[in-house]
Structure 1
Amino acid sequence: MNSKEKAAKIIRIISVPPIMALSLLLVAFFFKNEIYNRQQDFVFSIAALVVFPILAYPASEIFIRNKENKRERQRNFAFVFSLIGYTALLIYGAVFKVSSDMTAISLTYFLTVVILTLFNKIFKIKASGHAASCTSPLIFFIYFWGWPLIFPCGIAFTAILWSSLELKRHSLKEFFIGAGICILSVDLSLFGVWFI
């Protein structure tokens, strides 16, 4: 493995969905803690957006006996576990009346995984879940903390795009469809919180 591949691999690992979600939730906790009405909102968000999706990987090792198409089956496990976690957070938010910002975050993650599932499984249009999951925290960083973050977030997005292409995980089209799905989900969520 050459130095370019190593760099791409590191970027890929740092930008996996649970780590990107964790970065958003932690930055919000320390620098915009009005997002959380109570401490348990933060704890439940970590459980639903970070811990539960991570459990897809050990679960896939336990339940996937046939090694054929293992990577695709792991992706399926990740989609299912993410959908369960994101749905749980949405329900939690409705029951415990979380802030509008927290509602926007949870609704974005929920809509993103639903639309990604429709594209990948129903319409058979391959869209990058990695691209979608890294785009939402970057958008929320800009939304919560302003336009000066466009440049660093743009650099982060470009680096993640480069790593996906370098490692041949996604085509440019698949990456941008995934990112576009996330942007649509953010827009729908921010619009939707006005009616909740």
Structure 2
Amino acid sequence: MKTPSSLLVLFLLVAAVATAQSEYEPTEIDPYGTKNPKAPKQLDDFKPLIGMCDCDSERRNPDRTWAKAVKMTWKFKYIMNGMAIQDETLKADGKHSGSIRQFSKDSLKWYVHYYASASPTATLAAWEGNKTDDGRIVLYKPQKAPNGTDGFSRLTFYDITDKGYKWVGEWVDKTETVVFPFWKIACVKREE
């Protein structure tokens, strides 16, 4: 039979394990979580984006003109006990999306898995890439152009500061000499 003191020790051990498994997760006090000290240092690539931004999102119309900007919020937070990053967009037009961002120590690349409310899918689209020497974060996914030309969907975060950032989605050919922007977003960090 367990004594009250052994039950207390067992309870404290279970509580300590549970806390260790989630100590870097978002909380009421820290709604965006924190980076786990055991996480790859490359999680710092996205550190200035952690938090909430107010953004303008512009996409191409079928006639190649730019559509009117849609207001959105873009939230970045640490997940998986501070070992990865998740982002979520909430757009005024009701089309929401998000990504899970993990850095692989083996390949030394970011892997970004994208999902959207307008297009649920059994397999998530994935981009891979890195932070460049000039501070941009550039991600690629093989993608053919509408005419069948091989190329990539290239996603780039740039002009990254503590006050905000910009993002552009482009189709590029394999040599990256043909560049067609299809989506652009400008974000300003929300005062919190």
Query: Comparing both structures, which one devotes a greater share of its residues to helix?
Result: 1
Query: Per the shorter chain, which TM-score range?
Result: under 0.3
Q: Give me the TM-score of the superposition, normalised by structure 2.
A: 0.25
Flag the structure with more relative contact order, 1 or 2, with Cα contacts below 8 A and sequence separation at least 6.
Answer: 1
TM-score, normalisation: structure 1: 0.24
Higher strand share: 2
Structure (1 or 2) with the larger CA radius of gyration:
2
